[in-house]
Structure 1
Amino acid sequence: MLAYSPSTASSTASAAAGPAIPLAPVLSAASFRRAAEVHASPARTVLDAGAYRLVTSGRVAIALALRELGVQAGDTVLVPAYHSPSMIPPVLWRGATPVFYRVTADAGVDLEDLAARIGPDTRAVMVTHYFGFPQDLAPIRALCDARGIALVEDCAHAFIGEHGGRPLGSWGDYAIASSMKFLPIYEGGALVSNRHDLKNVTLRSAGAGFEAKVALNSVEKGFAYGRLPTLRAALWLPLRAKSALWGLLKRGRKVPAPALAPASSDSSFDFDPRWLDKRSSLFSRTLLKASSPARIQALRRRNYQRLDEALRGLPGLRALHPQLPDGACPWVYPLLVDEPEALFQRLKARGVPLTRFAYPLWQGVDDTTCPNAGMLSRRVLALPCHQELREDELDWIIAAVRKEASA
């Protein structure tokens, strides 16, 4: 099996540098506002694409999709050269070999290269909707049908959104998604299919410890970023007692306690097959049901467009995409930067929350594999545009980026 050592791919604000601004959604009173409050139109999620199972992460969903497709040792799976490293371990877990196909300079699928890499052992191809921007999957679906291979639609960046009048996730034999990129929850993913009933995918609870950890971590993360102050005051003493008790229990153990949540919840790229038959927590499932996709989409689009208007034309950077398509719900706001290392370090020092998707790429994938993947991995810096950002936080991010980009 190939080895991979993840490095830090994101930065959050430090108290000394600037205000603490969440890179991902955090729980707040605003999390439960309905769509009418932002005058939003109806929005569809990947769950509208077909039958679904709610699991703990997108990578677990990938592993389940590959298992359901019968991928095994000796098979190859086509994977975009521009990818999250968490996409690869499920392929290796099945004993298959990942084969990397090229992408274009704007992260589109290089269809000619993809077709050329399909061989007699190819069982499936994975295609990613990067940053919430839909790929044109009609020709890819036609290619897969003509060559007799399966399509796994990666909606990890696109839990909400549609294209061509259909919800994202509708084109694949299976689709996978990551709800924790779009909701203020500690874990969450989905396996979806409009071609299979998923009756063979049975899930069970991961236990009381997991359920409690997810709920507490989701609430405490909101507290850490200044949300839910009344609830924080009410729970101050019980949470202090919980922390003290947990510290005593850990000090008394001679061996580390088994993980109560999957590695994906703590930004690791590892894959643990013990989570394959575990369903998403009750807390996450409840919040998913209570959330408004229309509100989330409307606010993310508004924040994205505000960032775009404020940062467009600054020296040395530009939006990866010239415009936000109708029906898209962005995960983040991706900037293509001429001198990414210098700007990344300056923004990190100021405490600007940002992430570098696919940085680094999987071991052995470099410019010789795909020049555009290497370029995108190095040069794309992404800013948050999620629905829980406050006006003052977005103002501060814009001011900080404008200042550092002009330095």
Structure 2
Amino acid sequence: MEGKLEQGSARIPADICLPAGCGRTCGARSQVSSSTGCAGMVFSMSHVVASAEKHVARAGVFLPPKRTLFATAGPTLWPSMLWPRSIPADAPYPFNEPGAEFCYFARNAIFWVVRELGLEGQEVLFPAYHHGVELGALLAAGARPRFFPVHMGMRVHADEVAACITPRTRAVFLIHYAGFPGPVEDVAELCRWHGLKLIEDCALSLLSRTGTRPLGTFGDAGIFCIWKTLPTPHGGLVVWRDKGRRVLPPPEKAAACRVASATANLFLSNLEVRWGAFGRFLRRSLSSTGSAVFETMNAPKDPLADDTFDPEFVRLGMSTICRWIIGAQHFPEIVARRRRNYLLLAEELGSVAAPFWSELPPGVCPLFYPLLVNADKEELVARLTARGVEGVNLWSQHHSACPKGSFPEVDEMRRRILELPCHQDLAAEAVHRLAVTVRETLAEVS
């Protein structure tokens, strides 16, 4: 199948800046605002679904009877992945990169990279379209963001980044969205010309390339999230252009009970998909029992209970079990399946909404399929979940440092983009069923 698509808690500094022409400088000192999105797919889907169900209940919307889950938001864990093994030497970038440093969350790496680059108190150009947790980490590290526009299609224009540069600017933070490369070559050249540091946020773009070059190799530092693409309970990674550079502190171990709980949740999701109603009963029963046990034993705080930046966990390292799971992956097959599933969804849903991007360039490993909708996304999430599809209300909340109204196209993306899974667990038949389910659900709410 070709790549052509068919039509069819940190405080905020007082002088955070929006770009010239936006007409305002954000001076509010408020708590970092959370937003639901791909970052919550593993650990907070139950919270996301519960929130959506409460939303539709308040609106008096009747949901259909629940069906068996068949399309999880992210890949699930198979027992064969839990055998002790190391990450193979032939694993793709960034896993095979000398000096790659692993951590619990990618957000932790952002914090330490900002500190290592000496950006405390300095201006960093930052995309107006973001999740919020990466911005929280940057703020906690002491940097001062100045926002540049992101247009529909998650498009960044290098000339608009250049227009935001001031004498105070010291770095650019570029996000590669959903596996698709941003204008990284032009932005890297811009940074070289102005003597700026470049931080590549590849949290949504693990295993993606532009041409033959992996994303994360253009900047001074490339930061990756592992558990968005692979079925690990957590995991982040930072790679430096300077191969001898090290940034992360000696890792602290996360509470074993919390790592085990998150790992079990991934496995139970697998059982629910394979065993149907009994698997769902088993998953919910064991999850409820586990929660009760943790409450009784006064277990340590769960790093996965929240998708905001929490400095308490900034020194946590990646667990050994994540290395085992990474070592069990067949990376070429993962990329091939994600590309196939993305193209299948584009073909089947093109009549509902034009594909978000007109092409799937070679080298792109899509994280999810973004669908532009004109309906209540919370209601759509609840209805899809009832039909066995874990859709995600992508990045719907604004961070208080970049409030609603500052960038109209960002507002529209937050209002309209629904994230659909296209991960490696989904067979072609499941993707077809997913597309049919989405079309039926959209017809109900239109």
Aligned position for 1:120: 167
Residue pair 2:126, 2:174 contacting (<8 A) in 1 also:
yes
Residue-pair matches, total: 381
Quick check: 333-342 or 141-150, which moved more? Answer: 333-342
**Is the partner of 1:77 in helix, strand or coil?**
strand
1:22 aligns with 2:72: yes
State the Cα deviation string for residues 50-107 of structure 1 (Å, max 9, x = none): 631011111111111111101112x122110010111111121122222111012221
Quick check: 117-126 or 217-226, which moved more? Answer: 217-226
CA distance in 2, matches of 1:162, 1:365: 29
Change (3 A) 1:346 1:140: same
**Is the partner of 1:319 in helix, strand or coil?**
coil
Correspondence 1:8-407 to 2 at 5 A: 8-9=36-37, 11=48, 16-20=65-69, 21-28=71-78, 44-48=92-96, 51-73=99-121, 75-207=122-254, 209-210=255-256, 212-226=257-271, 247=292, 250-251=295-296, 253=298, 257-259=299-301, 261-262=302-303, 265-266=304-305, 268-314=306-352, 317-339=353-375, 341=377, 343-344=380-381, 346-348=383-385, 350-363=387-400, 365-366=402-403, 368-391=405-428, 393-407=430-444
Residue pair 2:72, 2:390 contacting (<8 A) in 1 also:
yes
Which consecutive segments of 4 or more residues in structure 1 shift more than 4 A?
7-16, 29-32, 227-230, 240-246, 342-346
Quick check: 52-61 or 392-401, which moved more? Answer: 392-401
CA distance in 2, matches of 1:351, 1:370: 35
State the Cα deviation string for residues 301-352 of structure 1 (Å, max 9, x = none): 11111111111112xx222111211111010011122445465564355453
Change (3 A) 1:228 1:31: farther
Quick check: 21-30 or 143-152, which moved more? Answer: 21-30
Residue pair 2:125, 2:173 contacting (<8 A) in 1 also:
yes
Residue pair 2:68, 2:387 contacting (<8 A) in 1 also:
no
Aligned position for 1:39: none
5+ residue gaps, structure 2: 1-10, 12-29, 38-44, 54-63, 83-89
CA distance in 1, matches of 2:408, 2:138: 23
* Alpha-carbon offset, residue 356 of structure 1: 2.8
CA distance in 2, matches of 1:92, 1:204: 22
CA distance in 1, matches of 2:319, 2:401: 36
**Is the partner of 1:87 in helix, strand or coil?**
helix
State the Cα deviation string for residues 127-164 of structure 1 (Å, max 9, x = none): 11101011121110011111111111010111111112
**Is the partner of 1:131 in helix, strand or coil?**
coil
1:4 aligns with 2:32: yes
* Alpha-carbon offset, residue 218 of structure 1: 1.6
State the Cα deviation string for residues 212-231 of structure 1 (Å, max 9, x = none): 5324432343224426989x
**Is the partner of 1:181 in helix, strand or coil?**
coil
**Is the partner of 1:406 in helix, strand or coil?**
helix
Residue pair 1:26, 1:218 contacting (<8 A) in 2 also:
no
What is the identity, as a one-letter code, of the residue corresponding to 1:330? P
Residue pair 1:59, 1:90 contacting (<8 A) in 2 also:
yes
5+ residue gaps, structure 1: 33-41
Identity of aligned residues (%): 30
The TM-score with structure 1 as length reference comes to 0.83
Cα RMSD (Å) of the superposition? 3.3
Change (3 A) 1:297 1:245: closer
* Alpha-carbon offset, residue 167 of structure 1: 0.9
**Is the partner of 1:365 in helix, strand or coil?**
coil
* Alpha-carbon offset, residue 399 of structure 1: 1.5
The TM-score with structure 2 as length reference comes to 0.76
What is the identity, as a one-letter code, of the residue corresponding to 2:143? A
Residue pair 1:49, 1:193 contacting (<8 A) in 2 also:
no
